[in-house]
Structure 1
Amino acid sequence: MLTLISATFAMPVQAQDVSGKIRLELNQAQPTQDGGCRLSIIATNGLERPMNQLGLEMVAFNKDGLVDQFLRLDFSRISAGKTKVLQFDLAGKSCESLSRLHINDVLNCVPPSITDVYCPDLLDLANRTAIEFGD
């Protein structure tokens, strides 16, 4: 029995989910009591290093395809292979009035010392809503 326990502790820890991409999923759009829209975005850090802060510049479009609102979202530190969820409200904008959520830019996905990485190229996008989501 002692051998089995020792072997169990000696086994390597299961690898984190490292894909080389930053997965962003528009997960949910819910109406709020004041007539606004609450959006949930899930970010998974598939890079081999933590991100101290992930910034998203986004643009919301109305049903006519016109630019409606500019947004800046910031995720706090996301460890390698880990996930964070961010919810934000668009006050006075019903979910039905939104046609598209565009990612204009992605900031701070790597430390400032790394200059050869363009963060938007690392995106892997997913969507579970009726609102178009992408770049």
Structure 2
Amino acid sequence: MTIVQAQDVSGKISLELNKLQPIDGGGCRLSIIATNGLERPMDQLTLDMVFFDKEGLVDRFLALKFSRISAGKTKILQFSLAEKSCDSISRLHVNNVSNCVPASIKDVYCSDLLELSNRTPIRFGD
């Protein structure tokens, strides 16, 4: 049995766009921190993301998958966009969130559970 301290359970899934880092070849590495503030583990958290260019036009879609996140715990995901410089991205939009609850739980829309924060110069969220 796992005991989760009260301060670890917020009833929300916190996502922080933590860092953009240029990589060789003109690409960009992004770091996202996900904290499971729910009272139950998530077997897999899937984020459907949309990237916008400097002109505000949709540039690309990307699905990001976090492996199991225990209740009250944090996971960090880094991903690279090949041939996409960090300064060419103006916005990262969370288009959809899925797999935040077991299939047996009905009527929960994962996107409603999000709490977003950002430490980068690009816009993050809705």
Q: TM-score surpassing 0.5?
A: yes
Please tell me the TM-score bracket, short chain as reference: over 0.9
| AA aligned opposite 2:27 | G
Q: Percent identity between the aligned chains? A: 72
1:42 is aligned to 2:43: no
The structure richer in strand per residue is 2
Alignment match, 1:128: 119
Give 2:116's aligned amino acid: L
- Number of aligned residue pairs: give it: 123
- 2:52 equivalent in structure 1: 61
Work out the CA distance in 2 between the residues paired with 1:36 and 1:14. 39
**Cα distance per residue 1:60-96 (max 9 Å; x no partner):** 0000000000000000000000000000001111000
* 1:25 matches 2:16: yes
Please report how far the alpha carbon of residue 113 of structure 1 lies from its aligned counterpart in structure 2 after TM superposition: 1.1
TM-score (norm. length: structure 2):
0.95
Q: Which residue of 1 aligns with 2:106?
A: 115
Listed as ranges, the gaps of 5+ residues in structure 1 are: 1-12
Give the 3-state SS of the residue equivalent to 1:64 in structure 2.
coil
**Bigger Rg, structure 1 or 2:** 1
**TM-score of the aligned structures, taking structure 1 as reference length:** 0.89
Match of 1:77 in 2: 68
Q: Which residue in 2 is equivalent to 1:6?
A: none
CA 83–14 in structure 1, closer or farther in 2 if over 3 Å, else same: closer
Task: Name the SS of the counterpart of 1:27 in structure 2.
Answer: strand
> Would the aligned equivalents of 2:4 and 2:71 in 1 still touch at CA under 8 Å?
no
